[in-house]
Structure 1
Amino acid sequence: MPPHHGNDADHKAPVSTHGGNDHPHAHGRHGAGAHSASHGHTMPGAPEPVADPKPGQGHFGQGYGQDPDKLDPRDRIVDREVVNATPHYSLHAVFKTVLPFPKDEQSQRSDVEQLLSALDATGVEIRGWYDVSGFRADADLLFWGLADSTDTLQAANQAILNSELGVNLERVWNVMSGHMVAEFSPYHLPACFDGVGPRDYAAVYPFNRSFDWYWLQAEKRQDMLKRHGMNGLNHLDVKISTLAAFAISDYEWSITLEHDDVARLMSVLRTQRAVEARVYTREDTPMFAGKRMELIDWVKRQPAEEY
């Protein structure tokens, strides 16, 4: 699999999919219903949440009180205080194939190694490469990178475009976003920064609230988010990364769902359509879903010809 970079883990936390500060799908930070509308506050009828760790304590991403012996081997322990005290940004960049790739495997491997080396030089953490070609008619490749600086992510984007492999690609869509400390429960983190390892499938989409959402009384919004979270209780296995994109893109949020079974990604979004908070959605497309794989394996799937 591509370099793991990034933080992730299993998440069975108190419910809510919209975190306390308007997080659209904040299916908690990691489970699709994983946080309470007020970021960790107990809700009537909801499981009693385990207390957030004290500052400086490590814990399992997306898994309050999780048994370390049962931790998914792809996941790791992170210190949420440290994560919140440092900058974390994400770039989803989508490309389409516009020219055939070299047919011989040696040339393919050379191009891939050159690009990976250039990316490594930028300092970007590669969350994954995803084949989106069967899910979209207008795109073929999704790159997901993480970094502590937007400059690093821009350098990574340029490294892709300026590489030998990049000559065969054309940009389709991208969104840059970053971790914003949750207003009501600062220890709620996006899956990608909370020790949760990448899953086999990912789906990313932008999210904008309706204009009137921000004029609603806080109690009204909190109640809707609470019910939204309760509605996602059966999808805590879906890992969610909700990141803020205010001012750095046309969107307010970017949301990425991850799971080893694409059917679970479909299920959680279908389930979360049936809540009142959905009415206050202004935009949540385009959607890019794909299967995670090594970049060389993706290249081998592309049209090729002798050079």
Structure 2
Amino acid sequence: MTQRPADVEPNWSVSGGDHHPDTEYTIYTVVHRPAGSPAPADLSNATARIDDVIAAHPEVTLRGFYDLSNLHEHADLMVWVHGKDLAPLQDFMRDLRTTPLFENLDVTWQVPGVHVAAEFNRMHAPAFLVGDKPLTWLCTYPFVRHADWYLMDGKERAVHLREHGMAASKFEGILANTVACFGMSNYEWMLAFEAEDPTQIVDLMRAMRYTQARRWMKHETPFFFGRRCETSELAKILRYEA
């Protein structure tokens, strides 16, 4: 794995300055097309508009569109973007939601997050930040720890994290992406796992249930699972065409 789940909670060290050159923000957005909402009159042009928005925001990296349809209630598509600043990500999503394919969609879930390289070892950086190419299948979810987790002795916490990491290290081929979202949302962390084989993610998540760190898990839903797709597939995924 590029980043082990054990590494999601480093020992935070506050440093001066408002912006670190290796800071990277991300936003996960889940959208749903309500039943009966109108379809664009020209699907070909509507799809081209998506590509226009992407081209108009060179400071934003689109990690991918993900097909969630028929896997989750009230969830058809996930949009995953990241960049050096948060405001351009907001601008990108705003422009995307004005396009014919997106203007009648409901946002059913949306979470921002941030990775700051100065706060922990670079080997723990998210896969999307170190240049790993996106893989086909994606599982994303938030999580929150019990307060006792943060208040326990640091050495004890390190033991649990080490065990957690050793269990995860057996799952080669999975890319891990962890960002912090304290104060940015109702969660503390956001995780995203990528794999070519979806069963790898299922096996990983099950294996993590057998580690001691699970005792301090407070909340870790909702889960979203889907396949990375091309812009040309969006009309079908959103049920605009058969």
**TM-score bracket for this pair, using the shorter chain length:** 0.7 to 0.9
Kindly tell me: are residues 296 and 85 of structure 1, through their superposed partners in 2, closer, same or farther at Cα, counting changes over 3 Å? same
| Equivalent position to 1:101, from 39, 63, 68 | 39
How far off its partner does 1:182 sit?
6.2
Tell me whether 1:17 sits opposite 2:5 in the alignment. yes
Kindly tell me: are residues 85 and 102 of structure 1, through their superposed partners in 2, closer, same or farther at Cα, counting changes over 3 Å? closer
Q: Give the conservation status (yes or no) of the 8 Å contact 1:182–1:188.
A: no
1:235 is paired with a residue whose SS is coil
CA distance in 1, matches of 2:120, 2:97: 40
Q: Give the conservation status (yes or no) of the 8 Å contact 2:46–2:100.
A: yes
CA distance in 2, matches of 1:160, 1:143: 10
| Equivalent position to 1:219, from 141, 145, 155 | 155
Tell me the amino acid that sits aligned with residue 171 of structure 2.
Answer: H
Tell me the amino acid that sits aligned with residue 111 of structure 1.
Answer: A
Tell me the amino acid that sits aligned with residue 115 of structure 1.
Answer: I
Tell me whether 1:284 sits opposite 2:220 in the alignment. yes
Which deviations, in whole Å up to 9, do the C-alpha atoms of 1:194-220 show, x marking residues without a partner?
A: 111000011111111111111100011
Q: Give the conservation status (yes or no) of the 8 Å contact 2:174–2:200.
A: yes
CA distance in 2, matches of 1:302, 1:185: 40
Q: Name 1:5's counterpart in structure 2.
A: none
Q: Give the conservation status (yes or no) of the 8 Å contact 2:67–2:237.
A: no
State the number of aligned residues: 230
Q: Which runs of 5+ in 1 are unaligned?
A: 1-9, 24-37, 39-83
CA distance in 2, matches of 1:159, 1:221: 43
| Equivalent position to 2:45, from 110, 113, 116 | 110
Q: Name 1:42's counterpart in structure 2.
A: none
CA distance in 1, matches of 2:156, 2:111: 30
Which deviations, in whole Å up to 9, do the C-alpha atoms of 1:191-247 show, x marking residues without a partner?
A: 110111000011111111111111100011000000111111221321000011112
1:299 is paired with a residue whose SS is helix
The range that moved more, 146-155 or 116-125, is 116-125
Q: Name 1:303's counterpart in structure 2.
A: 239
The range that moved more, 292-301 or 214-223, is 292-301
Q: Give the conservation status (yes or no) of the 8 Å contact 1:205–1:254.
A: yes
Q: Name 2:17's counterpart in structure 1.
A: none
How far off its partner does 1:121 sit?
1.6
Q: Which runs of 5+ in 2 are unaligned?
A: 12-19
Q: Give the conservation status (yes or no) of the 8 Å contact 2:69–2:237.
A: no
| Equivalent position to 2:88, from 152, 161, 169 | 152
Tell me whether 1:143 sits opposite 2:57 in the alignment. no
How far off its partner does 1:295 sit?
2.1
Which deviations, in whole Å up to 9, do the C-alpha atoms of 1:170-208 show, x marking residues without a partner?
A: 100011111122645244211110111000011111111
Cα RMSD after superposing both structures? 2.0
Kindly tell me: are residues 91 and 138 of structure 1, through their superposed partners in 2, closer, same or farther at Cα, counting changes over 3 Å? same
Using the aligned pairs only, state the percent identity. 28
1:282 is paired with a residue whose SS is strand
| Equivalent position to 2:56, from 121, 124, 137 | 121
Q: Give the conservation status (yes or no) of the 8 Å contact 2:76–2:237.
A: no
Displacement over 3 Å in runs of 4+: none
1:269 is paired with a residue whose SS is helix
2:108 is paired with a residue whose SS is strand
Kindly tell me: are residues 159 and 184 of structure 1, through their superposed partners in 2, closer, same or farther at Cα, counting changes over 3 Å? closer
| Equivalent position to 2:21, from 85, 99, 103 | 85
